[in-house]
Amino acid sequence: MKLYAASLFTTALLLAGCGSSEPKPVPSPSEEQSVDARPEIPVMGQEVRILALGDSLFAGYGLASNQAYPVKLEAALRARGVNARIANSGVSGNTTAEGRARLAFALDNQERKPDLVIISLGGNDLLRGLPPEQTRDNLDAILSELDKRGIKAVIMGLLAPPNMGADYRAKFDPIYPALAKKHEAVLVPFFLQAVIDRPDLVQQDHIHPTAQGLEAIVAATVEQVAGALPATTAAPPPPR
């Protein structure tokens, strides 16, 4: 039942197009949200740099920039003692191909190599009915580039909606778990699971999470992100 509800929610997401289905220009480093519009939580220890590469689910569609998922995730990590700094490279409407095209630019324009990249792409591929093979190839290329650069990854999974047909779903749904296994990335099986069957946590478009909805998503995913950080950057254990 949960899986069916998740698929129905994905169907609604496709109707909204993750914000916009029009291609977007590659953002300059100054256009990326550096996640500075939030109260600072003082944390000791080595600073952890994270790049959030995604579409409207990272861009914070319909919300103030300081309410986007990467902003809330950074605060949650810092509250757990992780000295995290997240660069938000979420662009509404991006497909996996567009995310792939701007990955090197986004990486090369960071102050230093990120310790982790979190990826939320694929919803607009579903919207356009793109062949699952293309989605897989693009995500595979993104993860391969991160492997080459020695950067760990977290990938936010999606599910194809029932109206795409059984054959399409059979090809699309295994993409995220298979690639996570291949590249030893951390997988969040369904990124929006925390707001399924919770209309109070989605915006009036019945698609994108509200600020409270994103808090629920952060709460459901922060431990997986924290667990993906390299051991040398992880938060120190609490004193005994």
Q: Can 56 be counted among the known catalytic residues?
A: yes
Question: Could you say which of 108, 144, 205, 206 is catalytic?
Answer: 205
Is 203 strand, coil or helix? coil
Q: Can 206 be counted among the known catalytic residues?
A: no
Question: Could you say which of 89, 125, 173, 208 is catalytic?
Answer: 208
Measured CA to CA, the distance from residue 62 to residue 67 in angstroms comes to: 10
CA-nearest of 89, 96, 100, 156 to 124 is: 96
Question: Could you say which of 20, 56, 92, 120 is catalytic?
Answer: 56
Q: Which element (helix H / strand E) includes 167?
A: helix 166-172
Measured CA to CA, the distance from residue 105 to residue 132 in angstroms comes to: 25
Measured CA to CA, the distance from residue 164 to residue 183 in angstroms comes to: 27
DSSP conformation letters of 82-94: --EEEEEEE-TT-
Compute and round to an integer the Cα radius of gyration of the chain.
17
> Is 87 in contact with 228 (CB distance < 8 Å)?
no
Handedness of CA 101, 102, 105, 108 (dihedral sign): negative
Measured CA to CA, the distance from residue 223 to residue 122 in angstroms comes to: 23
Q: Can 183 be counted among the known catalytic residues?
A: no
Going along the chain, which residue ranges are E strands?
A: 48-54, 84-90, 116-120, 152-156, 186-188
* Active site amino acids: 56, 205, 208
